[in-house]
């Protein structure tokens, strides 16, 4: 009797196991896997454990490595929203494959920007984030005083910043990434406020595509980033530089802002930027190089703004120069949109005895713009502008036999004068 009972019991056990729903048969390591707290040893997040749901901050301390296998999904719990990060003082290796990316995203079935905070690299060593997709973060990749490789990733709909780099000692390579928003309807434009922002850092930012960000790339308060071969399109300000000296070369900056409303391709303030061989076109305003950023001009070469060489639009420390026959219209006759500059179609900084002869200037917010300069405009036509002449910082301009309008003159200081004969 006992010999018969054992096979019968075994058969019944198999039947019972087969009738149990599959989810209840998962092992302790099968996903979803809830994660939080401090890693105490090198850890790998694997496909069998995926998705990993971050329910509290995950800390990767110095000397510890977190590795994510290709295809792993990491989802951030949103109760409450914008409360969870992965903070890496050690090393993170999130390296997918071209055909199998790692993913960081929200766990909410109806995700939104700022659902989670960031992957923060604080003094991290040897970290690589590549072939990884991100969505619905706040400051999605936050790099502080370290130099990871950030390449071939897609970052969508960050609430504040897709990539933030804070120095000193921050020299990451950021290349071949796509940074954009995917929500464009019902006032959803510019959802990703800043694509890449750097502070007192020296990253290499190259071959990236930044689309629909309020600020494409924002460089401020020191550092010398190298920004090259990027496409920055359809935001509000393509490149903003404040009190910094980056090298900006071979970029396409187009479609930022709206003609007649505002927005700028390249906006500088208190900076000396080396602008080299950039194509800047069809922005609300192409370039804004104010007097406090005039040292940009001798560093710059080969830039084209709405089809016009930037060297034609700005003159710095010109002496006894004759500009004859300039025919400038912000590129409108060639099919471009927006104003070429925030200053003038002929802008003079610290220039002396410049003669503008037989010029035809039109279709810009200002036409002849002078700061700390003297010039004579003769036998010229200035039309279709709110400021035929804009004078500031002790400038003296003589207008001789020139077609312009008295109500379209702006003089900002008592020591500047316009003499009309």
pLDDT in tens, the chain (421 residues): 444 444 544 444 444 444 444 332 333 447 899 999 999 999 999 999 999 999 999 999 999 999 999 999 999 999 888 899 999 999 999 999 999 999 999 999 999 999 999 999 999 999 999 999 999 999 999 999 999 999 999 999 999 999 999 999 999 999 999 999 865 444 445 556 899 999 999 999 999 999 999 999 999 999 999 999 999 999 999 999 999 999 999 999 999 997 778 899 999 999 999 999 999 999 999 999 999 999 999 999 999 999 999 999 999 999 999 999 999 999 999 999 999 999 999 999 999 999 999 999 999 999 999 999 999 999 999 999 999 999 999 999 999 999 999 899 999 999 999 999 9
Residue that is written with structure tokens 């910082």 in the block = 393
Q: Give yes or no: residues 260 and 333 share one domain.
A: no
In a domain, 61, yes or no: yes
Q: Give yes or no: residues 143 and 104 share one domain.
A: yes
Q: Give yes or no: residues 81 and 224 share one domain.
A: yes
CB distance 336 to 330 below 8 Å = yes
Q: Give yes or no: residues 174 and 302 share one domain.
A: yes
In a domain, 112, yes or no: yes
In a domain, 47, yes or no: yes
Q: Give yes or no: residues 129 and 217 share one domain.
A: yes
As given in the structure block, the two tokens for residue 50 are: 């995926």
Q: Give yes or no: residues 142 and 250 share one domain.
A: yes
In a domain, 62, yes or no: yes
**Count of residues for the chain?**
421
Contacts 24+ apart (CB under 8 A), 168-171: 168/200, 168/201, 169/145, 170/143, 170/144, 170/145, 170/146, 170/198, 170/200, 170/201, 170/202, 170/203, 171/147, 171/201, 171/202, 171/203, 171/204
Q: Give yes or no: residues 247 and 357 share one domain.
A: no
Residue 277's domain spans which residues? 30-306
Distances (CA, A) of 335 to 259, 329, 338, 373: 13, 11, 10, 32
Number of domains in the chain: 2
Residues in contact with 96: Cβ distance below 8 Å, sequence separation at least 6, in sequence order: 70, 71, 102, 130, 131, 132
Q: Is residue 415 classed exposed, middle or buried when 0-12, 13-18 and 19+ CB atoms within 10 A define those classes?
A: exposed
Residue that is written with structure tokens 């502008």 in the block = 385
Q: Give yes or no: residues 81 and 172 share one domain.
A: yes
pTM: 0.90
């Amino acid at each position: 009797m006992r010999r018969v009972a054992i096979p019968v019991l075994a058969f019944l056990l198999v039947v019972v196991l087969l009738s149990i729903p599959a989810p209840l048969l998962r092992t302790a390591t099968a996903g979803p896997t809830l994660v939080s707290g401090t890693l105490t040893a090198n850890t790998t997040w694997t496909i069998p454990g995926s998705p990993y749901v971050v329910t509290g901050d995950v800390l990767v301390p110095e000397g510890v490595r977190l590795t994510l296998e290709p295809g792993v999904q990491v989802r951030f719990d949103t109760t409450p929203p914008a409360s969870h990060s992965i903070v890496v003082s050690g090393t993170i290796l999130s390296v997918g494959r071209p055909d199998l990316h790692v993913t960081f995203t929200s766990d909410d079935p109806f995700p939104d920007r700022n659902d989670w905070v960031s992957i923060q690299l604080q003094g991290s060593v040897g970290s690589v984030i590549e072939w990884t997709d991100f969505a619905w973060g706040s400051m999605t990749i936050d790099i502080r005083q370290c130099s990871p490789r950030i390449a071939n990733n897609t970052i969508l709909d960050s609430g504040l910043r897709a990539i933030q780099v804070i120095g000193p000692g921050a020299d990451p390579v950021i290349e071949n990434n796509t940074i954009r928003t995917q929500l464009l309807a019902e006032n959803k434009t510019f959802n990703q406020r800043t694509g890449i922002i750097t502070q007192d850092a020296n990253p290499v930012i190259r071959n990236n595509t930044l689309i629909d960000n309020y600020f494409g790339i924002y460089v401020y308060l020191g550092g010398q980033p190298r920004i090259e071969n990027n496409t920055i399109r359809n935001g509000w300000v393509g490149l903003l530089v404040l009190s910094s000296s980056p090298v900006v070369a071979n970029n396409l900056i187009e479609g930022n802002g709206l003609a007649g409303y505002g927005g700028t391709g390249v906006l500088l303030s208190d900076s000396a930027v080396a602008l080299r061989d950039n194509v800047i076109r069809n922005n609300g305003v192409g370039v804004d190089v104010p007097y406090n950023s005039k040292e940009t001009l001798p560093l710059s070469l080969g830039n084209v703004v709405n089809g016009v060489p930037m060297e034609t639009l700005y003159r710095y420390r010109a002496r006894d120069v004759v500009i004859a026959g300039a025919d400038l219209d912000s590129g409108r006759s060639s099919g471009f949109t927006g104003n070429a500059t925030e200053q003038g179609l002929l802008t003079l900084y610290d220039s002396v005895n410049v003669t503008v002869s037989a010029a035809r200037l039109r279709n810009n917010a200002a036409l002849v713009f002078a700061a700390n300069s003297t010039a004579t405009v003769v036998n010229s036509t200035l039309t279709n502008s709110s400021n035929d002449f804009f004078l500031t910082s002790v400038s003296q301009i003589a207008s001789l036999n020139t077609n312009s309008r008295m109500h379209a003159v702006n003089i900002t200081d008592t020591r500047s004068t316009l003499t009309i004969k």
